Chain A
Amino acid sequence: MIEFSHVSASYDGELAVLRDVSFRIEDGSFVAFVGTNGAGKSTTMRLINGLLKPTEGQVLIDGTPTTELKTSELAQRVGFLFQNPDRQICNNTVREEMMFGFKALGKESPEAEVRADEIMAAFGLNPDDDPFLLNRGTRQLLALASIIVLQPPVVVLDEPTTGLDFRECTKVMEIIRRLHERGTTVVMVCHDMEVVADYAESIIVMSAGRVLAQGPTYELLRDRVLTQEASLVAPQMVALSLALGSQHPQLANTAVGQANTLSEMERALGLEIAEGGEPR
């Protein structure tokens, strides 16, 4: 479990980037942090894996304050995927990159190699490829794979879909979804509300270094006051159902007015919409 208790943080002891932030993330959950640039999301991620220590309050990982844990100890509990994979990749082959984490933690073993092989096969990565010659999406996949191979119980993702095209984005997010389904706690920062709506179970809305709200994704994304305050744009499906509800008051309290997903909308309208968008 990850727990923030009245946490404030700053860089170089200057202006506070986070102010009195408190929340709790249960084991096995999939939480997304949303908010504008400068809201404090990435700082929160850095606090979770101990790269930054709080100036006030406590960050607890399974009940232990991060101030009492070495970053290398935290690395075994919390895997961190950076926004830019090029800052992470530092080996000449995909295989070496996959094994780098084990080497750093002094956990190289034949079992580790087998696990690396399995993950590379699952991700469609060629062990002998030069990581620096891969395209952006594949480099991001490799960076993610080299984190997952260490099997941390918590995975923190700082904008994992930035710079990826739709197919690459879907591939990365589906892998993350499967990871979550196997019990890994996923904490993600993401600006793409469609991705957040599709994958995150709950969200934490941040603005100007504070937590505005924490709760189920669709419940919060339907809150117009909250989304306005945090300068968020609700996903299209939520916007459509809200618009239907407000334009046609008779629909507001029906399934149509409250639909959050395409399938809900289909059910509410009694339609079955084909993949291409045409009603069948």
Chain B
Amino acid sequence: MTGFLEYVPGNSLLHRMNPVAKLFCALLISVACFCTSNLIFLACVLIFDFALAAHCKMTRQAMGLAKAVTIFSLILAVIQLLTNSTGMVLVPLPWGYIGTGGVIGAVTIILRLVAAAVPLFLVMYVTKMTDLANSVVKVLHVPYKYAFTFTSTVHFIPVFMNDMAGIMEAQTARGVQFDQGSIVKKIRLMVPLCIPLLVSSVRKTNSAAIAAEVRGFNLRTRESGYKQYPFATLDVVSLVICVCILVVAILLGVLL
């Protein structure tokens, strides 16, 4: 079992692609989702996302992510429902009505966010963070310290999640009831826990920074890494397909 954003080993097409190409493909698909509100297009992208996830044997992770994004996008969907009073009247409200336009808008928001988020997260799961950092340094000439900052941030997410779980467990053992009471009460109980989390985060990042520095972090340049990241046919074909998806999205957005 793998943790959040933890590399999943494999030999799928996505695993074999150049990290930079993967990143660009994911970005192109995500941008495409925001270029059109065509529900059929968004549904097709979503199916494509899940087909990719199934190919990489990561359907479970993709489902988990889709669920989390859906919950988050529900807030936006509700706002859309209550404020977009267009189309046929479904439910009258004191300030307007919930109409078919609002419902379509809400569904569009959910589909768009899920379809845009899944490929970005898939890239994180199928790419080693070191490869991602090294490739953006080699191919895109991004300064190593920025690439390292990004990969360290991603690397620390599961670490901090684990820390938070440990801290909550320690407080539960002291009698704090996280599983009872209203949401406000739960938030009030959670606030003090930010202190140990913050302290442990600062300590960890400080230790990591010192450990990197004493091993010559500042001497690292683009030429330091021996591994090369050339673009293969697969990468070029994938990029062309993703550009086509973006063009279709733009055309649908302009024409419809």
Interface residues of A (CB under 8 A from B): 12, 14, 49, 51, 70-72, 75-76, 80, 82, 84, 86-92, 100-101, 104-105, 132, 146-147, 150
Contact = CB atoms under 8 A, between A and B. Distances in A.
Given A80-B173, A88-B174, A12 B167 contact: no
Contacts of B152: none
B1 A104 contact: no
Contacts of B1: 12, 14
A87 B172 contact: no
Max count, chain B CB within 10 A of own CB: residue among A71, A80, A146, A147: A71
A243 to B, nearest CB: 42
A118 B2 CA distance: 47
B192 interface: yes
Max count, chain A CB within 10 A of own CB: residue among B174, B193, B199: B174
Interface string B145-179: 00000000000000000010011011111111100
B195 interface: yes
A100 B192 CA distance: 10
B200 interface: yes
B225 interface: no
B175 A72 contact: yes
Contact of A101 (B166, B175, B193): B175
Max count, chain B CB within 10 A of own CB: residue among A71, A72, A87: A87
Interface of B: 1, 163, 166-167, 169-177, 192-193, 195-196, 199-200, 203
A70 B170 CA distance: 15
Given A14-B1, A86-B200, A87-B196, A100 B174 contact: yes
Q: Which 8 A-B pairs have the closest CB atoms?
A: A75-B175, A80-B173, A104-B175, A105-B175, A87-B170, A88-B170, A72-B175, A104-B176
B241 to A, nearest CB: 37
Given A49-B173, A147-B174, 5 more contacts: A14-B1, A86-B199, A88-B167, A90-B193, A150-B174
B75 to A, nearest CB: 29
B169 A51 contact: yes
Contacts of B203: 86
16 contacts: A70-B177, A72-B175, A72-B176, A76-B175, A82-B170, A82-B173, A84-B166, A88-B171, A90-B171, A90-B192, A90-B193, A90-B196, A91-B195, A104-B177, A147-B174, A150-B174
Contacts of A146: 174
B196 A104 contact: no
Contacts of A147: 174
A104 B199 contact: no
A72 to B, nearest CB: 5
Nearest to B178: A71
Contacts of B176: 72, 104
Nearest to B164: A87
Contacts of B193: 90
A150 B1 CA distance: 38
A80 B170 CA distance: 8
A87 B175 contact: no
Contacts of A91: 192, 195
B130 to A, nearest CB: 27
